[in-house]
Structure 1
């Protein structure tokens, strides 16, 4: 079992990813795909006059501030356009993909964050009207139902709160939670760089191997979203996933190449 997360940034080669998934599926490999939607959400938000706002937590992690309007835009972009275009590509390649979000069937479930704390202009502030959450439960019955029937689940990172509200959740950590729940051998995190870089953005400084016990030592090297990817990797490994590979989504056969060890392998 392989769980793949592909980022939602600009420059992601979805056509080559889907072709690779089709080949792996034909070879008998069972896969679950989790995807982002950041670029399409940003574009839509600018078009409707509600530009994105990014905030930094006291611990140094940057994320999208999700008020209710932003949540609805994220639903449109990620669970709508991005999800269905990936499903369309896979269906065209003969893969019986099913697109859904973590809200559907309470596939992903957890508490809504009542408030979030951020650092802005050197001061700690509290933001309310936040529609993000953390994942505590994965509906494995639903996933096994789909997988055992021959479907490839394509999942947008939206969860259900315990009150049934839609929540924006981190895609890398969603993929990690799914990988743990399914007992996956491998979690592949694809992005628009070759892996963790010692001197970002120099792609010749790729870190090729990290021991699962040393992940925290590499956090200072991580720039931007890569911090969340390392956090998701650590969570997956400590809960039983065999290995995590951070690899390049811009190349041909991105998943197959990652499985051969291209990228940063954490095990």
Structure 2
């Protein structure tokens, strides 16, 4: 399982040659991608503004009302995914693009109304179309993998009661890895891994004992907190090798498999 960060933009294609090599060696590979950066660009092109919710505990997330979900879906499925599938295909990889809503792959539950801060003002938000992943049915992915294809998956997911929902791509990758009983979960982004000092690449945490996840999550900021929690959940659920790695490297997937980045290991609190 390889998760490619949306913030990598065109650099996400750096992983394509690695995926071709792994597939050529007989490995089954699933790719998950985000697309927040492209969604922000498209939102601007449409004359809209990307807005965020800040919860009482400081967590910040995208405010996904109907217009934002529309832009996010168009960016994920209309720009990021075709570009990634095209790059994989050009590298000789038989890639197939999917969303979590396809074939009942991922079902989600819409978040309840919550009191948050929006644009500096506290209010109860009732129209956010974000959710938490409820269940994963891997049969479609297994069918494609058995046929020699490389699935490329992204949000949105489907809430049978309310329709499409935005779900976090890192959590999506983690849940898919668990459902598929994957040997590896490699989460690529635009940083070397978890840094003790965000401004110092030399402060990389190379091994993260799973039992100390709360401590290390406290060191992280922004999106890295979500990545750590998602990765930790996958590791604790049985994914043997979980790594947070740098997608900007020339061969980021192979580098992660060889020891680059932050790897989860066994360890007591």
TM class, shorter-length:
over 0.9
Unaligned runs of 5+ in 2: none
Report the CA distance between 1:157 and its aligned residue. 1.8
2:96 aligned counterpart, secondary structure: strand
Deviations 1:92-135 (A, max 9, x none): 11111000100111211021123234245887532111111111
Once the 2 structures are TM-superposed, how far is the Cα of residue 228 of structure 1 from its aligned partner?
0.3
The 1:122–1:42 alpha-carbon spacing in structure 2 relative to 1, beyond 3 Å, is closer
The TM-score with structure 1 as length reference comes to 0.95
Task: Say if 1:176 and 1:169 are closer, same or farther in 2 by CA, change over 3 A.
Answer: same
Q: Which runs of 4+ in 1 moved over 3 A?
A: 119-125
Give the conservation status (yes or no) of the 8 Å contact 1:113–1:133: yes
Q: Does the 8 Å CA contact 2:98/2:151 hold for their aligned counterparts?
A: yes
8 Å CA contact 1:246–1:265 kept in 2: the answer is: yes
Deviation at 1:186, TM superposition (A): 1.5
CA distance in structure 1 between the partners assigned to 2:119 and 2:66 by the alignment: 24
In structure 1, stretches of 5+ residues that fail to align are none
> 1:162: Cα distance to partner?
2.3
Q: Distance in 1 between matches of 2:197 and 2:36?
A: 24
Matches within 5 A, 1:188-267: 188-267=186-265
Greater displacement, 233-242 / 148-157: 233-242
Decide whether the 8 Å contact of 1:245 with 1:264 is kept in 2: yes
Residue 193 of structure 1 contacts residue 248 of structure 1 at CA under 8 Å; is this kept in 2? yes
1:54 maps to which of 52, 55, 78: 52
TM-score, structure 2 length as denominator?
Answer: 0.94
State which of 31, 54, 71 in structure 1 corresponds to 2:69. Answer: 71
Pairs aligned (count) = 265
